[in-house]
Structure formats: structure tokens, C-alpha cells
Chain A
């Protein structure tokens, strides 16, 4: 029978690591960001490439879910039309808190080149956005970097506190 050896002269004398609740909760949250499948246009292709084997989102703990109920992260990848605006709001409301939004690409950020009657001029008119990712379309590496930046942001948040009130109603 193997004996459990504890070296009391190392590791502060105990076989445990001390941390705070915030850190351990945010460690879990930031390393299992389940993203909702939300490809709206050509940015969606880059988002799919990011999830596939070459760029491999799985190593960040980011796996795509087909349901808002199971998702923490909404990557709005592509042009949001005015007809579709109410559905993005509904899907965002269906996501359980805490939830985050990455606005991916110029179209989602500002309407981009679609300065027309039918395009929402920035997805932040409908839902609050945590991270704006520029590019048309952003490369998968850029989306990976955006997710890493979002992880950094999550790790800096308070775990217990409800999310900061957003700009939208």
C-alpha cells in the first residue's frame, strides 16, 4: 500500500493550493466558454474554420453549441439585417447568465460596408457587446486572439457579482 508522503518543508507546508473564489470560478468560466453557433455571413466561415482542426477552438475549451440554453458566448459573425434583429435579441435573452458577446467583423461592429436601409448599424444597438473584433473578415487567428482577450476580461471580473449593468435597457 502506497503511503501518501507529505513534505511539510515545501509548498508552505501543506499539500493544498490557496486561491480565492473569484479566481477559481473565473478559471472555470474562462476555460470553458461554450459558443453559440451564430454564423450570419462570410465571417461565419472564418468562425467555422476557427472551430475546425487546423485552428482548433477545443484547446481553449470553446466548443460550439446549437442551443442558446447551453451557451456562454455569442459570436455574432456577420451582417445583422433589420429583419433578423429581433431574433438575435430573443436568442441573447435565452442564454443563461453569465453571458458574453463578441461582435465579429466590420458588419457586426458598425454595419460595415452595408450602409443601407436593411442592415443594423452595429449589433450593439440590439444587445450589449463585450468585445469588438475588427476585420473583414477576421482571420481565425484573430478570432482566437479575441477569445483569449475575452478570457482575460472574464478573469478580471468578480465571480459572485452580477454582471455590470449594460448600456442597453
Chain B
């Protein structure tokens, strides 16, 4: 049976979502199906706690405890032949369970296998750096900190890597707005010209179709010519549907004359 989801906020959503849509799942299989992975998993399980393990798209996924991440990766590198850390980062599950999921994507050239080590950490919980084991983890962990705000212990140079050093917020969190928060919107103005310049430069124009009719510097006036830099007059304001035709408003929106109209008595006529 399908899990019940409250649908009260359907009206608040700006886009259509199918109520009966089920997210497709990539099929998983048991680790025992693959002899190489089964041996690897047995070696990990002999020393560490493994909460879950399965094979997905020919890659083994192993869930471990976050405290064991350094030791597990050391075991994989030195004894099991997974000599490369091809990727690592975090996934934001804070809205769902208040945790980040950290994953380490490993590659073994000798076995021609890839496996993924995963663990969950709480929002403020720190994780041990694996950059002493893999040089590739150095920048990856910095990027993870930059984008998600996950703290990494014993990293040689824990500093933002993509965003400016004085940036506020971590942009890949689900709660971070795509077009930026207040700080991001004024970042370059504040930094270069100072906060006083905000009023002069003005807010960012995020609407790509925006046309300011009264701005003669940057837009041409449709219908009649106005010299560049001319001061806008009240008469230049665009007529709206509230303005009547007799008063220079839009066509067909006329003043209602009661003498011209008649009242229908029989509503079912």
C-alpha cells in the first residue's frame, strides 16, 4: 500500500505534482550475489559495525558509523585494494531526519570494482578528515564544508574553497534560496561600495522580462519618442484598466451610464 502523505499544501505549490506518482527506485541486490564484494564486506564487518549493505548498479553500498570512517577507508586502501577515492561529499537530509549523509566513492583498479561507503552525521556533528589517506579528499572536504557547513576535524587547511571567505551561509543546503538570501543579494555592493550605496544601485533585477517604461536611460519608449534622460511626467504613466476611456484610459473601458442599461427581472429568462 502507498504511504499516506498530507496533501493540504497542494494549493501553496507553484507547480503541479501528481498525487499518485511514485519515485522510481533503482533495484538493489544482495551482497552475496557478488563474490568479490562479499569478501570485502566480510573484511569490513570483522572489525566495524555495518548497519546496511547492498549492491546497486554493480556497486556495493555500505553504511557504517561516522566514527569509523577513517579506519574503514584505511582498511579499504591498505588491505582490500581500493586505492582511489574518486568522489566524496554530503547529502542534505536535514528536513527529513536532521542529518547529513556523507558518502565516499571508492575505486579499485586491481579488482575493477567500485564501492560506496556511507554514514550519517547530525547537523552540528563533526567528522574525521580522510585527507591523510587520500589527497583527493583535501579539496573535496573543503568543498563539502563550503557547500553544506559540515565540520571536518583534523583537516590541514579548513577553509572555504568556492565561495568568498566572508560569505554567509552554505549554498547547497536545501534551505538556502536559489537566488540567494539578503546577504547574497547585496554581497558585491556591500563589499565594493558599502551599505550606503544600496539605495543608489538598487536591488537586483531578477525578472528577465522587466521593462521600466519611465526609465529613458535604459529602455526605449514604445509609441512615442522621448529624449534620453528626460524626466518622467505623470502623463507618461501607462493607462491601466482602472482608468476610463473618457479620461484617457484604455479602450472599451467606459463609464457606465445607468440610463443605457436595464435590469433583468426574471433571472431564469
Size of the A side of the interface (Cβ < 8 Å), in residues, is 19
Please give, as numbers and ranges, the residues of chain B lying within 8 Å of A83 by CB-CB distance. Answer: 163-164
- 0/1 string, B150-191, CB within 8 A of A gives 1: 000000000000011000000100001111110010011101
A120 at the interface (CB under 8 A from B): yes
Instruction: Decide if the interface of chain B is mainly helix, strand, loop or mixed.
Output: loop
- 0/1 string, A73-85, CB within 8 A of B gives 1: 0000000001101
Known: A122-B205, A126-B192. A115 touches B179 (CB 8 A): yes
Size of the B side of the interface (Cβ < 8 Å), in residues, is 24
Q: Of B164, B188, B206, which one neighbours A125 at CB under 8 angstroms?
A: B188
A168 at the interface (CB under 8 A from B): yes
CB distance from B112 to the nearest CB of A (A): 37
Q: Which residue of chain A has the shortest Cβ distance to B197 in the bound complex?
A: A169
Q: Which residue of chain A has the shortest Cβ distance to B183 in the bound complex?
A: A117
CB distance from A126 to the nearest CB of B (A): 6
CB distance from B141 to the nearest CB of A (A): 20
Known: A121-B204, A125-B204. A169 touches B193 (CB 8 A): yes
Distance, CA A57 to CA B263, complexed state (A): 76
Please give, as numbers and ranges, the residues of chain A lying within 8 Å of B23 by CB-CB distance. Answer: none
Distance, CA A115 to CA B193, complexed state (A): 22
Known: A117-B176, A118-B163, A168-B201. A86 touches B188 (CB 8 A): yes
CB distance from A140 to the nearest CB of B (A): 25
A3 at the interface (CB under 8 A from B): no
Known: A118-B163, A118-B171, A122-B205. A89 touches B192 (CB 8 A): yes
A53 at the interface (CB under 8 A from B): no
Q: Which residue of chain A has the shortest Cβ distance to B191 in the bound complex?
A: A86
A116 at the interface (CB under 8 A from B): yes
Contact across chains for A125 and B189 when beta carbons are under 8 A apart = yes
Known: A115-B179, A125-B201, A168-B201. A85 touches B192 (CB 8 A): yes
CB distance from A113 to the nearest CB of B (A): 9
- 0/1 string, A107-151, CB within 8 A of B gives 1: 000110001111011100110000000000000000000000000
Please give, as numbers and ranges, the residues of chain A lying within 8 Å of B163 by CB-CB distance. Answer: 83, 118
Contact across chains for A117 and B180 when beta carbons are under 8 A apart = yes
Contact across chains for B200 and A121 when beta carbons are under 8 A apart = no
B208 at the interface (CB under 8 A from A): yes
- 0/1 string, A30-69, CB within 8 A of B gives 1: 0000000000000000000000000000000000000000
Please give, as numbers and ranges, the residues of chain A lying within 8 Å of B205 by CB-CB distance. Answer: 110, 121-122
Please give, as numbers and ranges, the residues of chain B lying within 8 Å of A111 by CB-CB distance. Answer: 204
Contact across chains for B188 and A117 when beta carbons are under 8 A apart = no
Distance, CA A122 to CA B210, complexed state (A): 13
Please give, as numbers and ranges, the residues of chain B lying within 8 Å of A120 by CB-CB distance. Answer: 188
Contact across chains for B193 and A117 when beta carbons are under 8 A apart = no
Given A110-B205, A116-B179, 9 other A-B residues pairs in contact with their CB atoms under 8 A: A83-B164, A86-B192, A117-B176, A120-B188, A121-B205, A121-B206, A122-B205, A168-B193, A168-B201
- 10 nearest A-B residue pairs (beta carbon): A117-B180, A85-B188, A121-B204, A117-B184, A83-B164, A82-B188, A82-B187, A89-B192, A86-B192, A120-B188
